[in-house]
Structure 1
């Protein structure tokens, strides 16, 4: 029997809390659970405010200078918004129960403004980064407890939340600038991230990768499209992933869940980055894999419609193969048809193979059994419609950039119209729907649209922005309006984006 000398604690294991029993808090299992032969876990029940409560005026908020911690003053970093009491708690990884409540216990050490931003992230901002409630739940259950122990991720999460909330409240700034609060959070996140990367232990590599992902999403969603902004985060992820995947032990539950999120995000953003005309493949990709040998081949049994990205996983490699072929076509044209690696005939055969493989795969995607269990029939149809838009996105890039066909070609225009038709099948929503993933196909269709189809693309993108409030959607429409206002005979895809200091991804 457990001795009566054990003091009552507010930090006991889940089983003891539910039974209202004293817990000696021994790890990995307390005495009561061991004696009962029960599983022992220390899940934190995070409770979120339904609405921010008023606070006394004497409780001042932290200033910008306090939030932006100066790394030069200390080598042992403690984030300004995290108390020493919380920082001492070891990061455990049981499933996190997330409930809405007017009570706050686990987050009482955070300022009210920070709790409000985390509440907004869980209930609003995370909706626009997820295609389904199941995905949103997995993301929040992973990110929130991890952020409470990783200063860089906490700041990055609050930056993304603040960006979305400010766009909801203040609307779209004409110059795509972000407000001072968002900039401050991002600066603090980067400062903490640099320190955590240099730290020899104590911070999970996957926590750092989750920070990089969040910063990248925040940069892209801001719509600034500055050279070296979002792309530097992707290239940083490439380098960190190299060391992380080399580690032998990633068997812990938090690492497995983190790996799911990072792998899904990274494989998608890397392939979509390859389609951008300004730089396409990153230097690390080109150096490691060359322009032709691009990462691993997707085996047929692993191909599925991923409900994180809302398109089939085989397209990730297809997009990179298309980029490699488009780059070679561009080099061949720049050299007046003089062969460097491949001839025009070689590239025509490559285009035949790419187009044939895309057309044969379109409409034949399947879901993983576990994903089908959480989808209704209506949701399945919406995901399938979104998936088809990405196959036609691939076709447009093949026809225009690899084959070099004009915009007016019937096959190009057929794919434009099909993208629009599929987008119209997807119900507009404020998140948790494939609707959030339509920026890429709609922008691609808009680049090639003619006549009334341009008006339809404009209407759909505006509807997306109105429901999601992602600034990058407005940036997409702004770029298209610029392209549409130029002369109709301007038919060069590669020069569509303009200046070298502008780096845009329709994401």
Structure 2
């Protein structure tokens, strides 16, 4: 399964009074702390609380109604975390860091937040790659990535497989594809691992299959396409 491979790891809501209650509940939950650490893990490159959201995105709910409520709550919770970290950047679990490394960790965490947002919109709301919400998150990731140290010397870039693959799965025009292939090439330079080549080939195969199906807006979920292609992607 596409996102379950992490293991380090359809409706679009409007802001109605009932939806607002979900966001209030999410905010209360985050502010009160649910036992998950908000600091950036020096190994993962993002926070433990974000990992919990990724895990919950992949949990299957028994009914559509429950899945819808869960999606609203998770979206509210994630947006609260994103807003909170803008106002008060989280600490990194590594004691001594250069200013550049600390900046890269902060950006890496924010990139993972946006990648999680993409997964939530795609998996729980069924939005297409071309949707405004997913494209907005992709644009934000692009801007953040351009401000990170890439390739060698390796720092937080070694942790970037998941967000790069997530963005690649939603790439539906040539500019986006070219951008993500360049970043994956830099990941390969940094890691020097065969699995990066597999990720690159998987993306190319997904893009070709979408073209074969005439899906030029990214309506088909990459998880479905990967299953058809018999890929088992590991993103760590």
Q: Structure 1 residue 408 and structure 2 residue 167: aligned?
A: no
Q: Structure 1 residue 495 and structure 2 residue 228: aligned?
A: no
Q: Structure 1 residue 474 and structure 2 residue 197: aligned?
A: yes
Aligned-partner Cα distance in 2 for 1:475–1:408: 25
Per-residue deviation at 1:453? 1.4
3-state DSSP class of the match of 1:378? Answer: helix
Query: Could you tell me whether the CA contact under 8 Å between 1:392 and 1:419 is conserved in 2?
Result: yes
3-state DSSP class of the match of 1:390? Answer: helix
Per-residue deviation at 1:394? 1.1
Q: Output aligned runs, 1:118-129, within 5 Å.
A: none
Deviations for 1:156-181, whole angstroms, at most 9, x for unmatched residues? xxxxxxxxxxxxxxxxxxxxxxxxxx
Partner of 2:35: 299
Identify the match of residue 79 of structure 2 among 345, 359, 362: 359
Please tell me whether Structure 1 or Structure 2 has the larger radius of gyration of its CA atoms.
1
Per-residue deviation at 1:473? 1.2
Identify the match of residue 56 of structure 2 among 321, 337, 344: 321
* Larger helix fraction of residues: 2
Query: Could you tell me whether the CA contact under 8 Å between 2:154 and 2:190 is conserved in 1?
Result: no
Say if 1:455 and 1:463 are closer, same or farther in 2 by CA, change over 3 A: same
Per-residue deviation at 1:346? 2.8
Identify the match of residue 449 of structure 1 among 171, 177, 191: 171
Per-residue deviation at 1:484? 1.0
Say if 1:412 and 1:500 are closer, same or farther in 2 by CA, change over 3 A: closer
Per-residue deviation at 1:432? 4.2
Structure 1: any 5+ residue segments left out of the alignment? 1-230, 232-268, 273-296, 329-340
Per-residue deviation at 1:354? 0.8
Say if 1:500 and 1:458 are closer, same or farther in 2 by CA, change over 3 A: closer
Aligned-partner Cα distance in 2 for 1:500–1:463: 25
Structure 2: any 5+ residue segments left out of the alignment? 10-32
Q: Structure 1 residue 312 and structure 2 residue 47: aligned?
A: yes
Partner of 1:342: 63
Query: Could you tell me whether the CA contact under 8 Å between 1:428 and 1:464 is conserved in 2?
Result: yes
Partner of 2:143: 421
Q: Output aligned runs, 1:136-285, within 5 Å.
A: 270-272=7-9
Per-residue deviation at 1:416? 1.6
Query: Could you tell me whether the CA contact under 8 Å between 1:420 and 1:442 is conserved in 2?
Result: no
3-state DSSP class of the match of 1:498? Answer: helix
Identify the match of residue 393 of structure 1 among 115, 118, 121: 115
Q: Structure 1 residue 376 and structure 2 residue 105: aligned?
A: no
Aligned-partner Cα distance in 2 for 1:480–1:416: 16
Partner of 2:234: 505
**Structure 2 length as normaliser, TM-score?**
0.75
Q: Higher relative contact order at CA 8 Å, sep ≥6: structure 1 or structure 2?
A: 2
Query: Could you tell me whether the CA contact under 8 Å between 1:428 and 1:463 is conserved in 2?
Result: yes
Give the length in aligned residue pairs. Answer: 198
